[in-house]
Structure 1
Amino acid sequence: MPLAPLVRRLVPAHRAVLAVTALVAIAAGLLGSGLEKHLSYGGYTSDSFASVRAERLLAERFGAGSPNLILVVRADTDLAGPAAATAGRTLVARVTRTPGVVSVQSPWTTGDPALRADDSRTGLVLVRLGGDEDTVHHTAQHLVPRLTGRQGPLHVEATGAARVNQEVERRSAEDLTRAELLAAPLTLLILLIAFGSLTTAALPVLVGVVSVTGTLAVLRLLTGFTPVSVFAMNLTTALGFGLAVDYSLFVVTRYREELARGRDITEAIVVSLRTAGRTVAFSALTVMLSLAALLVFPLYFLRSLAYAGIAVVALSAVATVLVMPPLLALAGRRIDRFDPFARLRRRTGGGLWRRLALGVMRRPVAVGAAASVVLIALAIPFTQAKFGLMDDRVLPRDSPAQLAADTVRREFADAGTSPVVITVSGLAPSREAADLTDYARRLSRLAHTERVDTAVGSFAAGRRVGPPREGFRTGADAWLSLRSTAAPDSPAAERQVRAVRALAAPGTVLVGGDAATLADTKDVLADRLPWAVLIIASSMLVLLFLFSGSVVIPVKQLVLNLLSLTASFGAMVFVFQEGRLKWLVGDFVHTGRLELTVPLLMFCVAFGLAMDYSVFLLARIREEYAATADNTRAVAFGMERSGRLITAAALIVATVLGAMATSELAVLKLLGVGLALAVLVDATIVRGLLVPAAMRLLGHRNWWAPRPLRALHARLGLKDE
């Protein structure tokens, strides 16, 4: 249904519509309650990874695999003492009997010296929990509380991926509540300062609240069809609230303009939705398509955020179009009530932004070059980016799981908790022992290999150094454990994995372990990244052409949007990888690495938000250019009409997303700070300086298109009027 007829139906029945909206919001809130119980943990790997298939084969055929639950056990005196040994074996027996436990290794049952610290009082129990990530999570929820704490003469702490996910679940829910309590009043304050009127400030916030409750319901429904990452709740509620407030703000501002022109209430609402409302719908489409680029990656962490983000952005736009007209009808001409600055604004308008635009356009080359140099300089640190996978260090320093993991790293460097595991299938029956021996010898000679354990013995530097290991062979299948001197997230470990995969083997080989998972993740992201970029670039070019009728403006906006991301990408390395200026965002554990998927997520979200503001500014510029054919005047008019509005909108989104910086989880801090910085840079340096400079330099060429495309735009182009 076209917007104008829809609005004319909503306005007369505005009280009934608002009553229905309230009921729907309450129902959505009830549906979304307890959402965190249905969210998934992990999603950073794919079943297509060779490393994942190797781990699955280890669990199914050998009851082995890399531990995902690690118990750090401390004895009062000595682990080998009678009391501690008895308690330890009892503990191991309890773990082994628990449904879902695949394997258990301990200093009392294996005799492995690597599981005992030098002080003889501290040891490790390595537990492999079976099933998918959600099954592992639920098993750990049942198991960990019964095992940790005081256990007779032992004190037990837990860490590992399963335990870390428990901590992430609890802290992300706490973070969400804290961020919402911080963002909502700050948003209202920004609106009050920017627009003076309490009514003007309150209406967008009300739509934002409706959007958040709807977001929780959308996420709950999505969990019935696809796994949804636990981080989706934090990111998408912030995104939904911020965009709903922004979209509503654009409509409210246009409504005030139309009232000032003498229109009656109904007509002012209709015109506002026909102009700003259509721009909102188009803007939401650009953000949704930018998020859709995440769907090309086979990691459900990214895919679930794409599904959730697309649904939430659509919900924000729909909430604006359906809820704002009844709210405006209810407010009527009281929209400026309690606004002491209304008369002053009517006299001065957006004079500051107009003067800024005219000043920039008098020296477009100097201003544009200076701004570009600054942004490119801010991006330089990203050239030194190093990447890894999320681990316990995403948690704060005082987290029990993080403290226990620090103990493992400090006191059990040789524990082999993250070995390179190699499965070999299809061994020749007559040559099993000889082939395995030859293969293990060659593996042990690879750089950074400390030892290779196999069913035919342990090998180091090409020589047998230990007896055969039990449970390492069944039928024509076998597995090998390669202990590496390289950290799993280091370039040396990645090179070692690639060397293992390139080595001739006696059967079909799959290589697993943390280092192999990191290599597989890098490979698949690098392979799919060009497709994601193609989706974003092509969709933005097409949409901006349909919106503007120009082939120049879409290309220019793509370049400017990329520049708006530079500061946030540089800050990722400067603050979160290198740990500088940490005090600005709160303390966190910096590892010297960035979580591999976060830059991709930030790129898609931030690019969509930058395009969002491009559309709103371009809409006002195009409106004036169509009326006057004066490019300079059109740019000044667009800045005058939308400068303050875009700044307030950007501050709101930056506040809502930046509230995630209060999170105790480093990955949410990174997302919040990076996205907030990208939005602020885009609204100030890019929209305030680079856009008017570029528009002035190109002049009337901004609006050029070949004749066939002009004809196409005449038939298919999107128009506000």
Structure 2
Amino acid sequence: MRRIAHLVTHRSRAVLVTYGLLVVIMTALGTGVFSSLKSQGYTDPNSDSVTVSRILVDEFNNVQPDVQIAIDFPDNVDLASNRNTTEALLNAIADEAGVTQTSSYYSLGSPNSLKSKDGNALYAFVFLDKSKDVEGIAQNILTKFGSRYESATLYFTGEAVVSHEINSAISEDLAKAESFAIPLTFLIQLVVFGSMVAAGLPLLVSLGAVLGTFAVLYGITQFTDVSIFAINLITGLGIGLGIDYALLVVYRYREERASGLDVAKAVERTVETAGRTVLFSGATVALVLISLLAFPQYFLKSFGYAGVSVVVLAVLGTIFALPALLNVLGDKVDSLRVFKRNLKPHDHGFWFTLTTYVMKRPLRIIVGSVVLLLTLAAPIRTITFGTVDERVLPANNTVVLAGDFIRDRFDGWEAVPVDVVVQSGSDVTALASKISLMTGVARVQAKDGVYVAGNLAQPVALSGYVSATHDRLTVILSVDRYSDQANDVVTQIRSMNTAGQDLLVGGISATFIDSQDAIKNTLPYVLAWIALFTFVVLFLFTGSILLPIKALVLNVLSLSATIGALTWVFTTGNATWLVGTFINTGTVDTSIIVLISILAFGLSMDYELFLLSRIKEEHDAGRDTTDSVAFGLQRSGRIVTAAALIISVTFMAFVTSSVTNIKQLGLGTALAILLDATIVRALLVPAFMKVAGRFNWWAPRWAQRFRLQD
């Protein structure tokens, strides 16, 4: 750190000019990122369900429609007038740029499966050119044709339509969240930093981190898919960490100036102390977030790409550009004061008093705090996991209304069947008959006809069910594709596999199961990675064996409380006064829970290092454990609390989103950070360290030589 300190004090303007040029270049490169992002990414590319999708396309030329339309008439669909209306509509849609094919109840032979229970509604399908912007094409169709065509009411859904609606909602919500979060965080910054000039310093770090990450993400999109949801993490984490790190550095700079050091020496000392803390903190957060790359779903990988990039860039901006600017500004950093108060740090104050109070009764504080966290965690016992579908959008959204209409008016989920493929030569007749007997199955379509309740109800040769190497079955469900009954159908079919049959199951229901299994199978390795590297980094930083273990245990407690609270809110519909209205599916998104847990864990380590850096510094200066904790918290408690409050406000703004899983991300991350900064850092840490005494700093002799020296 001494070399960096020497560079930023002796080449301040050169550092700032270089940093500014890099930000400009990255801004220019990053402008293309938004049009390159996608809204899917929940599937495991190595799963059976994805293999089935490839087989259906390659061998059966079975391409899923991009847009599905449920067309509702005031009378029976078999009337000639309704057929004419449908054909006119589809001819008009077929003329739209990017549309390759259309089909409907009529063109597919008028099967009952494509007609509603009352006979007044039917399915139509639209296929788009995959080499073009399918979401944009879907948007044009939706905008042009709306909800009415002559006498018919139109309900649009399908992957392209749902993706467009989610992407549009997120883009609009991001602007709304930023309009709420940025002014509020700036007001908090004014209070915390004490002057207009100092309050503006985090922009130097935040803008570089956010705009730089846009450029990095754009580069990544040239090689792989990236989820649009990562944008929320970039802005939230970029703004939050920029403020957090700037607060730590500015506070330390003021402290060093108050001790009598000149500007250059104060900046150098700040880089060597606070800069070192930021470097370790950023490394810890990045090592935690990089674990997201272990998951096969690109939705989670995207947050890994975005999270690691924004943290690394925030750290670089903090240890290079920010100290260089402080060196140029000198004491002008405190110009334009908003409040007439002494900005110099004090050795006695609220945090010293609170810490002293806690350490006089540590066991009572530990018991009370743990009981509170376990109470918050209690609802986790009833948690039910789900995935993203159109119901993450508001109840009045076009695709949600379409989904509700289909559930209410049609017998089966025609557009989202369970697909089964087996090796040629398998006994497809017996397999189709057995599957059609399962609870939750409306019927099974095979090469020799349609099976219902174990019988061949419609003996007719169906085309497109046999290839050179495989036979396929189409299983139409009578239950919701994400329901437990649908999961049971997939599980039962997979259990019917026999040697030489090579039975594979695909479709949305199977994809959901495969995605959940991929997360479940990967999670133990991710948790082991996080625990190991968190332990190693904290040991290297503190030289203690006990403090890393303490940090891991307390993090598990606070995360359990957070997930319990999320379960209480989003599976039972509580606290709508806080999060707004949403469609309660009785589930929480598995991927979002994983993301919140990893993100909150990383940020909690951020604050752990903020706190321990000052406690350790006081202990190394010769104070005993009690005084080290009291003085350390007095010097860092205000920083940790302010940093947590600011980043919580940034993420809490996501609760204003109309997309449910963004609400979950915002509330979960904000709550986890607030619990960590209050109950954990303010109460449990000092109480635990008081009880542990001198053992806080213990490590075996052989391990002590691995501790990094200042």
TM range (shorter): over 0.9
Consecutive unaligned residues of structure 1, counting only runs of 5 or more, are 429-434
CA contact (8 A) 1:96 1:104 kept: no
Q: Identify which of 499, 503, 514 aligns with 2:496.
A: 503
In structure 1, the partner of 2:450 is: 458
Displacement of 1:225: 2.8
User: What is the CA–CA distance in structure 1 between the aligned matches of 2:497 and 2:638, rounded to whole Å?
Assistant: 65
User: Does 2:35 match 1:37?
Assistant: yes
Taking only aligned residues, the RMSD between alpha carbons, in angstroms, comes to 2.4
Q: Identify which of 476, 481, 484 aligns with 1:488.
A: 481
User: Does 2:699 match 1:700?
Assistant: no
In structure 2, the partner of 1:649 is: 643
SS at match of 2:155: strand
- TM-score normalised per structure 2: 0.94
User: Does 2:558 match 1:559?
Assistant: no
User: Does 2:160 match 1:167?
Assistant: no
SS at match of 2:226: coil
In structure 2, the partner of 1:277 is: 275
User: What is the CA–CA distance in structure 1 between the aligned matches of 2:90 and 2:334, rounded to whole Å?
Assistant: 70
User: What is the CA–CA distance in structure 1 between the aligned matches of 2:344 and 2:214, rounded to whole Å?
Assistant: 40
User: What is the CA–CA distance in structure 1 between the aligned matches of 2:84 and 2:54, rounded to whole Å?
Assistant: 33
CA contact (8 A) 2:562 2:668 kept: yes
Q: 1:177-576 residue pairs with structure 2 within 5 A?
A: 177-339=175-337, 344=342, 346=344, 349=347, 351-427=349-425, 435-468=427-460, 469-504=462-497, 507-576=501-570
User: What is the CA–CA distance in structure 2 between the aligned matches of 1:282 and 1:672, rounded to whole Å?
Assistant: 26
User: What is the CA–CA distance in structure 1 between the aligned matches of 2:247 and 2:76, rounded to whole Å?
Assistant: 67
Alpha-carbon distance change, 412 to 67 in structure 1, aligned in 2, over 3 angstroms: farther
Displacement of 1:561: 1.4
User: What is the CA–CA distance in structure 1 between the aligned matches of 2:415 and 2:253, rounded to whole Å?
Assistant: 62
Q: More displaced, 380-389 or 670-679?
A: 380-389
SS at match of 1:628: coil
CA contact (8 A) 1:662 1:669 kept: yes
User: What is the CA–CA distance in structure 2 between the aligned matches of 1:363 and 1:586, rounded to whole Å?
Assistant: 40
In structure 1, the partner of 2:52 is: 54
In structure 2, the partner of 1:432 is: none
Alpha-carbon distance change, 618 to 347 in structure 1, aligned in 2, over 3 angstroms: closer
In structure 2, the partner of 1:592 is: 586
User: What is the CA–CA distance in structure 1 between the aligned matches of 2:100 and 2:373, rounded to whole Å?
Assistant: 52
Displacement of 1:22: 3.4
Displacement of 1:555: 0.6
User: What is the CA–CA distance in structure 2 between the aligned matches of 1:393 and 1:448, rounded to whole Å?
Assistant: 21
Displacement of 1:580: 1.0
User: What is the CA–CA distance in structure 1 between the aligned matches of 2:252 and 2:697, rounded to whole Å?
Assistant: 25
User: What is the CA–CA distance in structure 2 between the aligned matches of 1:421 and 1:130, rounded to whole Å?
Assistant: 23
Q: More displaced, 61-70 or 458-467?
A: 61-70
Alpha-carbon distance change, 360 to 426 in structure 1, aligned in 2, over 3 angstroms: same
CA contact (8 A) 2:394 2:583 kept: yes
User: What is the CA–CA distance in structure 1 between the aligned matches of 2:274 and 2:438, rounded to whole Å?
Assistant: 64
User: What is the CA–CA distance in structure 2 between the aligned matches of 1:33 and 1:601, rounded to whole Å?
Assistant: 26
In structure 2, the partner of 1:112 is: 111
Letter in 2 for 1:18: L
Consecutive unaligned residues of structure 2, counting only runs of 5 or more, are none
User: What is the CA–CA distance in structure 2 between the aligned matches of 1:14 and 1:467, rounded to whole Å?
Assistant: 82
User: What is the CA–CA distance in structure 2 between the aligned matches of 1:314 and 1:269, rounded to whole Å?
Assistant: 21
CA contact (8 A) 2:90 2:102 kept: no
CA offsets 1:334-361 (integer angstroms, 9 cap, x no match)? 2333447675565855511111111111
SS at match of 1:712: coil
Displacement of 1:111: 1.4
User: What is the CA–CA distance in structure 1 between the aligned matches of 2:425 and 2:127, rounded to whole Å?
Assistant: 26
CA contact (8 A) 1:284 1:317 kept: yes
CA contact (8 A) 2:70 2:123 kept: yes
CA offsets 1:126-162 (integer angstroms, 9 cap, x no match)? 4566859x87546645655555454444343311222
Displacement of 1:93: 5.4
- TM-score normalised per structure 1: 0.93
Alpha-carbon distance change, 180 to 22 in structure 1, aligned in 2, over 3 angstroms: farther
Alpha-carbon distance change, 687 to 274 in structure 1, aligned in 2, over 3 angstroms: same
User: Does 2:639 match 1:640?
Assistant: no
Letter in 1 for 2:541: F
Displacement of 1:696: 0.6
CA contact (8 A) 1:71 1:157 kept: yes
Letter in 1 for 2:671: L
CA contact (8 A) 2:93 2:99 kept: no
Percent identical among aligned pairs is: 38
User: What is the CA–CA distance in structure 2 between the aligned matches of 1:485 and 1:78, rounded to whole Å?
Assistant: 22
User: What is the CA–CA distance in structure 2 between the aligned matches of 1:597 and 1:298, rounded to whole Å?
Assistant: 12
CA contact (8 A) 1:73 1:122 kept: yes
CA contact (8 A) 1:208 1:244 kept: yes
Alpha-carbon distance change, 504 to 255 in structure 1, aligned in 2, over 3 angstroms: closer
User: What is the CA–CA distance in structure 1 between the aligned matches of 2:446 and 2:198, rounded to whole Å?
Assistant: 71
User: Does 2:79 match 1:81?
Assistant: yes
CA offsets 1:160-207 (integer angstroms, 9 cap, x no match)? 222110112222222222222222221111122223222222212332
Q: More displaced, 576-585 or 306-315?
A: 576-585
Q: More displaced, 139-148 or 369-378?
A: 139-148
Displacement of 1:515: 1.6
Equivalent pairs, count: 707
User: What is the CA–CA distance in structure 1 between the aligned matches of 2:705 and 2:347, rounded to whole Å?
Assistant: 37
User: What is the CA–CA distance in structure 2 between the aligned matches of 1:416 and 1:60, rounded to whole Å?
Assistant: 21
CA offsets 1:24-83 (integer angstroms, 9 cap, x no match)? 333322222242101123111122111111122223322336555221223355433323
Q: More displaced, 491-500 or 478-487?
A: 478-487
CA offsets 1:630-686 (integer angstroms, 9 cap, x no match)? 001111011100111111000111111111112121111110111011011100010
Displacement of 1:695: 0.5
SS at match of 2:503: strand
CA offsets 1:100-145 (integer angstroms, 9 cap, x no match)? 757744255331224333454432224566859x875466456555
CA contact (8 A) 2:442 2:477 kept: yes
SS at match of 2:280: helix
User: What is the CA–CA distance in structure 2 between the aligned matches of 1:340 and 1:49, rounded to whole Å?
Assistant: 58
In structure 2, the partner of 1:122 is: 121
SS at match of 2:116: coil
CA contact (8 A) 2:116 2:411 kept: no
Q: More displaced, 571-580 or 331-340?
A: 331-340
SS at match of 2:705: helix
CA contact (8 A) 1:66 1:419 kept: no
CA contact (8 A) 1:216 1:237 kept: no
User: Does 2:577 match 1:583?
Assistant: yes
User: What is the CA–CA distance in structure 1 between the aligned matches of 2:563 and 2:317, rounded to whole Å?
Assistant: 32
Q: More displaced, 437-446 or 502-511?
A: 502-511
Q: More displaced, 192-201 or 241-250?
A: 192-201
